Amino acid sequence: MKPSELHNQRSSLTSNFQINPADIMNQLPTQFFATLVQKVNREIAAGHDVINLGQGNPDTPTPNHIVTSLAEAAANPLYHKYSPFTGFTFLKEAIAKRYLEDYGVQLDPENEVAILFGGKTGLVQLPQILLNPGDLCLVPDPGYPDYWSGVALARAEMSFMPLTQNNGFLPDYSRISEVDRQRAKLMFLNYPNNPTAATAPPSFYKDTVEFAAQNNIVVASDFAYGAIGFDGQRPVSFLQTPGAKDVGVEFYTLSKTYNMAGWRVGFALGNPEIIKLINSLQDHVYVSLFGGIQAAAATALTSPQDCVEKLVSRYASRREALFTGLKDIGWDAIKPSGSFFSWLPVPKGHTSSSFADLLLSEAKVAVAPGIGFGQYGEGYVRVGLLTSEERLQEAVHRIGKLNLFG
């Protein structure tokens, strides 16, 4: 029998076979920004020079000393075997040392640190660990869309906390209904914030701990941009607040601090009961990170932090270049106080999506529509500081030629 005939025979035997996905696959949130990527790629494929300010991927390489550490560790036979289930102790000790030096927070490496396959993994896992179907999670709006994914996978429900300019893009706990306070079991926070680029003061975290304790709500602090603050101000860690470890955990990642986005190294830090649960779930899914990557991550955390200071300085210079240009074309916006994003209001007569489409089609500049981050993101676009000062200035120049601002 010829191969083609064999193929046809198998096809006739399986012609009625169907793949039926689980119901949960149809309940997952739509990946809004996948559409943005497709639009950008179409413009590029058509030969246009697109300045992409819409994504959050660091644009400079991982520092050389970290890469060298990985190369050396990769040759070590010790790391060619399965890593310890919860990760090597030296890496957990390294993150504890970094937190003590940077924030004055003491962490027990064995009981208060969990190693993650990137911060996103922990953020999506936590709702599955703590929420039953029908339970409620408080989520910032606008906010990082993958919070929604974790809640959907847990078959739980969400109640959105509006982040508005009038309140410094912080949630107002007094506006949360009594019903939601009683139902909620988990709450996500994220400062420095994606997408608004706001930072949170110590007083806010004090209120947060009190609110969480009074209502028995676990706090999940997403501290992905914890190293990136401007004007001489280091962002505040939730764990610096007395009582924080009693009511929650913080998620930290090396993606932004050390330009290690593709390395997938993150941590959950804080409440030992929650850390134990995270490790338990991961025991069923993973076999820890490659040891060579763990060794390089420890190098990043324990070496002199000059590379981090240079990175923050670079983003600060880009921020100044961007906002100098925005002022020149009449685009009035608040400077970011943290993260590598800027949150810019759209001109009158436009939605965030229509404005983003206009900039892409007419100026060949890509920005992220605020509606992709939630209802209260409408009226804004998110712009990344993830290209050179020259390209940022060129982007503003192109937008200025459209005469959209008074």
CATH number, domain of 110, equals 3.40.640.10
pLDDT at 136: 98
Residues 206 and 276 grouped into a single domain: yes
Residues 283 and 177 grouped into a single domain: yes
Q: How many domains would you assign to the chain? A: 2
Q: Which of 241, 269, 302 is the last residue of a domain?
A: 302
pLDDT at 33: 76
Residues 235 and 297 grouped into a single domain: yes
Global confidence as pTM: 0.94
pLDDT at 255: 96
pLDDT at 5: 55
Residues 104 and 208 grouped into a single domain: yes
Residues 176 and 48 grouped into a single domain: no
114 in Cβ contact with 93 (< 8 Å): no
pLDDT at 404: 94
Token representation of residue 28: 């997952």
Q: Which of 302, 323, 350 is the last residue of a domain?
A: 302
Residues 162 and 226 grouped into a single domain: yes
In a domain, 17, yes or no: no
In a domain, 148, yes or no: yes
pLDDT at 29: 85
pLDDT at 55: 86
Residues 298 and 315 grouped into a single domain: no
pLDDT at 9: 59
In a domain, 352, yes or no: yes
Write the CATH number for 354: 3.90.1150.10
pLDDT at 8: 56
Residues 212 and 95 grouped into a single domain: yes
Distance CA 333, CA 177 (A): 32
Which residues constitute the domain of residue 213? 64-302
Positions in the chain short of pLDDT 50? none
